[in-house]
Structure 1
């Protein structure tokens, strides 16, 4: 009798766990034909930077471009450890429109100055050599300037959760227009997290 009860309890636990596990996998980034990780909330556009800035603004958001490449272990880390974190993903989804670029891709890109490029020639023109590189665009479309020069901030590489998330928060709050440099802003937020008990040791 007790064996039957234990078996029934185990079966119930497994039944409860399996859907949750599959739901977790369902939310994970998928790998595209180009070898890049894909979040289902990334925006698929024609990569006209001016149009994308306007589209983001119409949604009450900011535009961020993310350069990645096939086989990039740091890109994988960004997706698996950072963008899979609900606190990080929810903030970005609420405030930013994210458009993915392939560092060595051939898809057409229209720069803010009107020049038609490919993803790989855009990366060269704008001076990006690391993946991932996140490029934060202004909330208004500037005139006669390339996207590389118009960017209000760039973040090359995959960092820890709070550096990553705080950069998005700093840009959203337009910290680049004020006197508090990002590093000062980040240090202040880390101290506040420590004092609140949410962070230990970072």
Structure 2
């Protein structure tokens, strides 16, 4: 009986390994963590918003940098959680920007920039910083003017996930500020006995 149990446990572990490996972040040549479900684009903001909308999703841009311990924490502790990753994959198209990178970016106002000059222009100085965009944007706006929310820094699972949910539910159009929304969800999770450490 013990032998069968060991074999079943071993088989379960082997079955789980490819799934875990498929969801694991890797390190790219630029030194940034890469999720297999991040979208690689030409970083044309207007085009990316349209592509996301065409897939029934919202565009989220994440700024990271080589050696960022908070970025590593986001990938290893938060984005590795299936509940978080599955929700984001289903509802958002995530495009990664290197805060000190040289890839070309086309702002919503038509300006051609590099990733690092875009970060300076838009005023983003922390990594990770996640910027959330609406489904459509008025002509002539730059990214910060069009953004519906910005999440600077690394947070625990529930703050992180609730920000994505709040944006998806267009909480920014309601009277329920994100902090109130987050507190309400945390209380509901606590009542359900689902709350783990932040």
TM-score relative to the length of structure 1:
0.92
Gaps of 5+ in 2: none
Match of 2:164 among 152, 165, 168: 168
SS in 2 for 1:128: coil
Segment of structure 1 superposing worse, 105-114 or 20-29? 20-29
**Aligned residue runs from structure 1 range 15-164, under 5 A:** 15-164=11-160
Whether contact under 8 Å (1:103, 1:120) holds in the other structure is yes
Whether contact under 8 Å (2:22, 2:36) holds in the other structure is no
SS in 2 for 1:163: helix
Partner of 1:180: 176
Match of 2:187 among 173, 187, 191: 191
RMSD: 1.7
After the TM superposition, which segments of 4 or more aligned residues of structure 1 sit over 3 Å from their partners?
Answer: 5-16
Partner Cα distance (2:72, 2:197) in 1: 25
Q: 1:75 to 1:10 in 2, by over 3 A?
A: same
Aligned residues: 198
Whether contact under 8 Å (1:54, 1:141) holds in the other structure is no
Larger-gyration structure (1/2): 1
Partner Cα distance (1:199, 1:8) in 2: 35
SS in 2 for 1:125: helix
SS in 2 for 1:54: helix
Q: CA deviation at 1:24?
A: 1.6
